[in-house]
Structure 1
Amino acid sequence: MQTLTDIAQFPEAKKDRRSARLLNKPLLMVIGAQFFSALADNAIFFALLEFLPTKGYSSYSTYLLQGSFVFFYILLAPLVGYFADSRSKGAVLFRGNALKIAGVLLLFLNINPFLCYALVGMGAAIYSPAKFGILSELVKSELLVKANALIEGSTILAILLGAYLGGTITTSLGITVAIIATALFYGAALISNLFIPKLSPMITEKRTIGSLLPEFIHTLKALFASPYARFAILGTSLFWGAATTLRLLLNDWVRDHLGKGIDTVALFNIIVSVGIVIGAFLASFLITIKTLRRALWAGVAMGIITAIFSFQSHLFTIYLLLVLVGIFGGLYVIPLNALLQKSGQDLHGVGQAVAVQNFAENSVTLCMMGIFAFFSYLDLSATLLMIGFGGLFCLSMAALSWEARRQKLF
């Protein structure tokens, strides 16, 4: 039976597909697909935050919504790497985006929004490993760093613009228009996918789930047996779990404490994202793997500032503290990412290390969603939840510091 990707006429690839020119057409199509896909990912998130209350769902449902998104990241973690490498990566990207757009369109059929968003999450889980894996097949090795920078740059721009458009369109034109706009963004990503050359699979050996799962578990155990890798995985997982939780806490806090809507929620998230970019830039100058303890102090500062932020009402102070939360977040997570990549390269290769990292990050995120959904179900105030969040993150940093001292990591 033919699939959509079989029907789509991918251009035939030449024997040597890697280009010595950075801005070649296939790479531009990958960048375009990534931009529109990430744009839609963020726009639909903010549209759904507004959509749920209109359907009578309680405030804790937003945490369950995010949990439904990361579910397939966890379930498919042992499989998606092989899936991406055993097929043409352009076709994998197409299928990932097709699942995302299907999830969005099903909202118009009154399908449960949690199931719809879970389908979007499945598409994202399939899409993720192919996004970076395809770059080495399109450009020469000396251009890989620049190609990665272009992908990251387009993603950051899409995150900022997607948050703005998701909040603004939902507020000014309504939820239905926002969902239609999201579907169009995913459609643009699909069209871009059609112009990516059909590349030969990196792996031709047929594997079964029964063989992939033990291999993933072996890699997981090996990385956690390494003190440096374990420290890096736990540290990055705590950050991304906290970052996801903070997005939802901001949604509750803005509505309860400030009495404002989704456009303000989106704006606050944009400000934090800008801060993370600044922090990531500063981390390259201020912190190395040898001075990694500084990253933990940045994590402590992030938790303390979040708790202080929860009492504020003046917009200038709020903006300033949100930027600082982002800056300290960037100073914290970038060095830990570097440590993980180094540890993964020394042990089982960066690709498998990243697969384990994704599994750990989304597992922690799912746990945090469950914890704060429960607190929200108890009808605790958003301010109290924000204070608790800051305190818990500081305690997590203390635990990481104790682990580093116990293992004599630095």
Structure 2
Amino acid sequence: MSKSVFALLVAQFLSAFGDNAILFAVIALVMKSSELPSWYIPALQSVFILAYILLAAFAGPFADHHPKRIVLLLGNLLKAAGALLILVHVEPLLAFLLVGAGAAIYSPAKYGILPELVGEQQLVKINSWIEGSTIVAILLGMLVGAKLADQSIALALQMTIALFICSALVTLILPSVRHAGKQHVTAMDFINDIKLFFGQPIARFSILGATLFWSAAAVLRVMIVAWGALILGMTNASDVAELTVFLAIGIIIGSALAPVIIPMQKLRRVRYAAFAFGLLMVLLAFMESLWPARITMLMIGMAGGIFIVPINATLQEIGHQSIGSGSAVAILNFFANLGMLVSVGLYTLSESMNVPIVTSMSVAGTIVLLIAIMIALHLPKTPIQFTDH
């Protein structure tokens, strides 16, 4: 492993740790409050996603034009500023919008820098390392953030600020590579990039597949809070985090298996993982005890990890050879977060209408399965081919 790849792994680990620690700090804030309504947690997720959508047209070209280590630095500092605003009692919805803005800027640079550090043959392997280390960070961020927030929300927020700043400093170790991309972009430039990218069947499938995955993952994450409280009797953020850990462990396992099971040339195989994801989500809705729920969450995570790693690698390589890897990731972020906003928004609406959580979760799983089947039917049958670079 090169020094640059190791530095990226460390920076991503710290940043993802902070992302999840701050999320569970805010979940603890809501669960401890007698004034905030039940729809507040999905609303927080929605404003975070909204930042991605609003910045999608500019984040990718910005990452492609500027040295990506500087873009990563800026993203971390914005996230730290959002955590600071929550700490000083600014409205959490507004502060979380700033955290989302930092994440939206950070994401295209995080994935877009990979083709600059390694060749195409190593992309799936490096992606599995990135996803694996990210999920470990998510796991620890959830556990440590929730445990700390249950004791002191202020201390949990201070920790997240320190993590974002440390991640920002580590990014300075990365090489400074600058490309002659567009410095000034318009919405029409972004639309033209989308048309160009969607003209490639594999790129189109990858975008739609990733959108499905992230939409399902986002709504499952917020559903678990209400489902765990009602069905399993969970009473605090730590209980929710401990259940979600099994999802994270599953994604780690799936991410490690993905390069072996599904190299980019065999991308069609990912459809089976998508089918399993939807079926298991429906099954989870009807679990009534802790250990069966944990095992099902583990299996959902494995299916998700096997599914998303090859898709991410494919998108990065297609983008690197066409519109720029940062722009490709920004297009992915736009569609994925639009899907997440719709899915979480619909769940927020169902929660406000007092739809039973078991019904909401089983319907969501069924929709995931049906959309996966529809997308798979349009997947090109020819093997994916890349040019050397």
Q: Any idea what SS the aligned residue of 2:190 has?
A: helix
Provide the C-alpha distance between the structure 2 equivalents of 1:349 and 1:376, rounded to a whole number of angstroms. Answer: 40
Q: Is the 8 A contact 1:22 1:147 kept in 2?
A: no
> Who is 1:229 aligned against?
203
Provide the C-alpha distance between the structure 1 equivalents of 2:269 and 2:238, rounded to a whole number of angstroms. Answer: 35
Q: Is the 8 A contact 2:275 2:372 kept in 1?
A: yes
* Residues 372 and 27 (structure 1), Cα distance of their counterparts in 2 relative to 1, 3 Å cut: same
Aligned length: 380
Provide the C-alpha distance between the structure 1 equivalents of 2:7 and 2:208, rounded to a whole number of angstroms. Answer: 35
Q: Is the 8 A contact 1:92 1:127 kept in 2?
A: yes
* Residues 353 and 97 (structure 1), Cα distance of their counterparts in 2 relative to 1, 3 Å cut: closer
Farther-moved stretch of structure 1 (291-300 vs 384-393): 291-300
The answer to whether structure 1 residue 196 and structure 2 residue 196 are counterparts is: no
Q: 1:114 aligns with which of 84, 87, 93?
A: 93
Q: Is the 8 A contact 1:341 1:353 kept in 2?
A: yes
* Residues 319 and 106 (structure 1), Cα distance of their counterparts in 2 relative to 1, 3 Å cut: same
> Who is 1:242 aligned against?
216
TM-score by length of 2: 0.86
Provide the C-alpha distance between the structure 2 equivalents of 1:209 and 1:357, rounded to a whole number of angstroms. Answer: 17
The alpha-carbon deviation at position 239 of structure 1 amounts to 0.5
Q: Is the 8 A contact 2:111 2:326 kept in 1?
A: no
> Who is 2:184 aligned against?
208
Q: 2:158 aligns with which of 169, 180, 204?
A: 180
> Who is 1:58 aligned against?
37
Provide the C-alpha distance between the structure 2 equivalents of 1:353 and 1:317, rounded to a whole number of angstroms. Answer: 39
| Matched letter for residue 186 of structure 1 | F
> Who is 2:147 aligned against?
168
Q: Is the 8 A contact 1:68 1:118 kept in 2?
A: yes
* Residues 383 and 152 (structure 1), Cα distance of their counterparts in 2 relative to 1, 3 Å cut: closer
For the pair shown, the structure with the greater C-alpha radius of gyration is 1
Q: 1:285 aligns with which of 253, 260, 263?
A: 260
Provide the C-alpha distance between the structure 2 equivalents of 1:341 and 1:97, rounded to a whole number of angstroms. Answer: 22
Q: Is the 8 A contact 1:91 1:198 kept in 2?
A: no
The alpha-carbon deviation at position 113 of structure 1 amounts to 0.5
Higher RCO (CA < 8 A, seq sep 6+) = 2
> Who is 1:309 aligned against?
284
Farther-moved stretch of structure 1 (48-57 vs 329-338): 329-338
Q: 2:72 aligns with which of 73, 82, 93?
A: 93
> Who is 2:58 aligned against?
79
The alpha-carbon deviation at position 218 of structure 1 amounts to 1.0
Q: 1:394 aligns with which of 358, 369, 376?
A: 369
Provide the C-alpha distance between the structure 2 equivalents of 1:351 and 1:105, rounded to a whole number of angstroms. Answer: 28
| Matched letter for residue 213 of structure 2 | F
TM-score by length of 1: 0.82
The answer to whether structure 1 residue 296 and structure 2 residue 271 are counterparts is: yes
Provide the C-alpha distance between the structure 2 equivalents of 1:144 and 1:179, rounded to a whole number of angstroms. Answer: 37
> Who is 1:403 aligned against?
378
The alpha-carbon deviation at position 258 of structure 1 amounts to 1.2
Farther-moved stretch of structure 1 (64-73 vs 149-158): 149-158
* Residues 364 and 185 (structure 1), Cα distance of their counterparts in 2 relative to 1, 3 Å cut: same
Could you tell me which runs of 5 or more consecutive residues in structure 2 were left unpaired when the two chains were aligned: 384-389
Q: Is the 8 A contact 1:37 1:189 kept in 2?
A: yes
Farther-moved stretch of structure 1 (362-371 vs 282-291): 282-291
Q: Any idea what SS the aligned residue of 2:378 has?
A: helix
* Residues 136 and 326 (structure 1), Cα distance of their counterparts in 2 relative to 1, 3 Å cut: closer
> Who is 2:84 aligned against?
105
Provide the C-alpha distance between the structure 2 equivalents of 1:140 and 1:279, rounded to a whole number of angstroms. Answer: 22
Q: 1:329 aligns with which of 304, 317, 323?
A: 304
Provide the C-alpha distance between the structure 2 equivalents of 1:141 and 1:402, rounded to a whole number of angstroms. Answer: 31
* Residues 252 and 201 (structure 1), Cα distance of their counterparts in 2 relative to 1, 3 Å cut: same
- Amino-acid identity (%): 35
| Matched letter for residue 106 of structure 2 | Y
Could you tell me which runs of 5 or more consecutive residues in structure 1 were left unpaired when the two chains were aligned: 1-20
Q: 1:47 aligns with which of 25, 28, 40?
A: 25
| Matched letter for residue 2 of structure 2 | L
| Matched letter for residue 201 of structure 2 | P
Q: Is the 8 A contact 1:136 1:144 kept in 2?
A: no
* Residues 268 and 230 (structure 1), Cα distance of their counterparts in 2 relative to 1, 3 Å cut: same
The alpha-carbon deviation at position 75 of structure 1 amounts to 1.4
RMSD: 3.0
Provide the C-alpha distance between the structure 1 equivalents of 2:46 and 2:134, rounded to a whole number of angstroms. Answer: 22
The answer to whether structure 1 residue 367 and structure 2 residue 342 are counterparts is: yes
